[in-house]
Amino acid sequence: MTAALLEPTPTETATFPIDLGSFKKLPLDPSVTTLTDEQREALQHNIQLCRDAIVFFTAIGDAKGLGGHTGGPYDTVPEVMIAYSFMQGPAGDSIVPIFFDEAGHRVATQYLMAVLEGNLETNKLFHYREYLSHLPGHPERDFTPGVKFSSGRLGHMWPMVNGVALANPGKTVLMLGSDGSQMEGNDAEAARLCVAEDLNVKLLIDDNDVTIAGHPSKYLKGYDVTQTLAGHGLKTDVGDGEDLDSLYARMAAAFNTAGPVALINKRKMAVGIEPLEGSPHGHDVIKASYAVDYLEARGLTDAAEYLKNVTKGPKAPEFKGSTGAGKNRSLFGKVFNEIVGAMSKEEREASVKVFDSDLEGSCGLDVIRAEFPEIFIRGGIMERGNYSAAAGFGFEKGKQGVFATFSAFLEMCVSEITMARLNKSNVLAHFSHAGCDDMADNTCHFGINNMFAANGLPDEGHDTTRLYFPSDQHQFAKCLKSIFTDEGLRFIFSTRSAVPDLLDDNGNLVFGDDYTFDAGKDTVVREGTAGYIVSFGETTYRALDAVIGLKEAGTDVGLIAKTCLNIYDEAMMAKLAAAPAVMVAESFNVTTGLGSKFGSELLKRGFAGKYTHIGTNKEGSGGLWRQMPYQGLGPEGIAEGFKSLIG
């Protein structure tokens, strides 16, 4: 890999084709509850300008293959523009000037406002979600000029906003929310405290009846965000988010009302953008072709032409010792269907239940729902509750709950995992998007603390919790088939990125037809006399490239693929304990990952050699595949780590 691939892209020098200089400063006084014709016209201008800009620069992310989100930030522009005008008006000193948002994927709002407030160079918007652009997929405080908070994961902001309100008595604090993010359980806790303390928090809820997996009104019957908030004691006000005069009057009334108020603003997702209006596809980044049509219809031909000529960023390099590619997060559902497809309908319905948390397409569950809807629960954005529901289904011997979501959200489920363990439940959990590879959403979506799931007591071997992170698609399939009927808690991890197939010295598949998965056995991928690198998951093929390069340069290092992360293959540990050097290379948190304890386990077995471990060790860079080398986890970084170890 050339060093140039890891350099940031120079800031675009072309003129930004949406004239943000035409934005009209418009101080408004919330004590005046109606708009003049001139004020309405200026607001309408600002709303359209900002929506055009959001469509344009988020579509660049699609054109470059970086993904992103368009519909959410596009939808909430009217609320943001009115609130910004209040901040500039006579009541400005009584408002905390931050657009807190519990839906961090709407980060385009924060970047656009950073430009309008003069904190961010306009042309930085050309580089939405790019590597080292400092415009990641979720807002990160102090990482991007003008971004004043970190959103964390969906639905996590309100409790912190309550604290901000307590720290700023006499001031109004705003929070943008949504019907999806309000499904999260900690919002219920935040609501109770907000009401009990009569905090001056104003919620601006975008109620568009859309989440990633569909329409809540259809898959989560009984849930209504207005009734939920009213039940907690908040004053609620429901209206049309696209009726500007009504929205303004309602927001002014909320600002003039002491204590917590929730404005529920109903609208279709991506209103006015064909063919995304009202569709769950509007949640994701707009396809560049759709954006071109939108911009051309708006007469913004320069913006449309720019999009037509955007090229994708550099591809990931080829890696020695591997070939092809498989996407394990999707493979989970296909292999699962093979397993349960072999059961009778009666056995399947009686013994297996699958719980989705609105990420079915990202975790491989969509194919399960398509083929076996009778065992599928569309659980909404409620990871903790859904994991416990899976544990409850698996409470009886012979039954098992199946659960899936992103690895970053495992941290949210640790208490529920403990309860499932104490209840001797049977749960098969697929946590995808592990590590940091391909994660333009950046640090808050890194799945790096997965070892938190292994928090049971050893109890003389009675803890059956097992954590698995297979190294390629062939091992993943064999692992899943092998562990499916095991009792207890099983966690199988996969990455957002595809991973290539590992090859042996003769060019044959390491985990091919001759390989049989054994949960208690690690795999020698390469032998070595100078020591061993121990790895797993998507780091294994990078480590293999490093091992091949080191061997070619005269350092005879070996490679071990450790698939079950929380139990130890004693034969392999004896082999490693006799080696002169051992290094663990992983994409998990260097502080909490396998490597943080593996050295101690070697010492218990008499190891007297040199030891180190490398892993994710700093906040993310943005972008996709370059997240790994940025953390020192590319082949070059792994090779350098081992060379430094042996001296």
pLDDT tens for 210-242 read: 999 999 999 999 999 999 999 999 999 999 999
Give the pLDDT score at 5: 82
d(CA 446, CA 626): 14
In tens, the pLDDT along 173-205 reads: 999 999 999 999 999 999 999 999 999 999 999
- Which residues, in sequence order, are bridge partners of residue 76? none
Same fold, 3-11+24-308 and 326-646: yes
The domain limits of the chain are 3-11+24-308, 326-646
pLDDT at position 55 over 80: yes
- Which residues, in sequence order, are bridge partners of residue 201? 173
d(CA 523, CA 507): 16
Mean pLDDT across the stretch 93-99? 98
Looking at domain 326-646, its CATH class is alpha beta
d(CA 367, CA 360): 8
Give the pLDDT score at 461: 84
- Dihedral sign computed on CA atoms, order 8, 108, 118, 140: negative
In tens, the pLDDT along 242-282 reads: 999 999 999 999 999 999 999 999 999 999 999 999 999 99
In tens, the pLDDT along 526-568 reads: 999 999 999 999 999 999 999 999 999 999 999 999 999 999 9
Strands 322-326 and 499-502, bridge-based pairing:
antiparallel
Encode 95-107 in three state secondary structure.
ECCCCEECCHHHC
Domain 3-11+24-308 has CATH 3.40.50.970: yes
Over the Cα atoms of the chain, what is R_g?
A: 26
- Dihedral sign computed on CA atoms, order 464, 469, 470, 471: negative
CA dist 621 to 60, 479, 613, Å?
18, 32, 21
pLDDT at position 380 over 70: yes
d(CA 185, CA 389): 14
How many residues does this entry show for the chain?
647
The distance from CA 18 to its chain's CA centroid, rounded to whole angstroms, is: 30
In tens, the pLDDT along 562-597 reads: 999 999 999 999 999 999 999 999 999 999 999 999
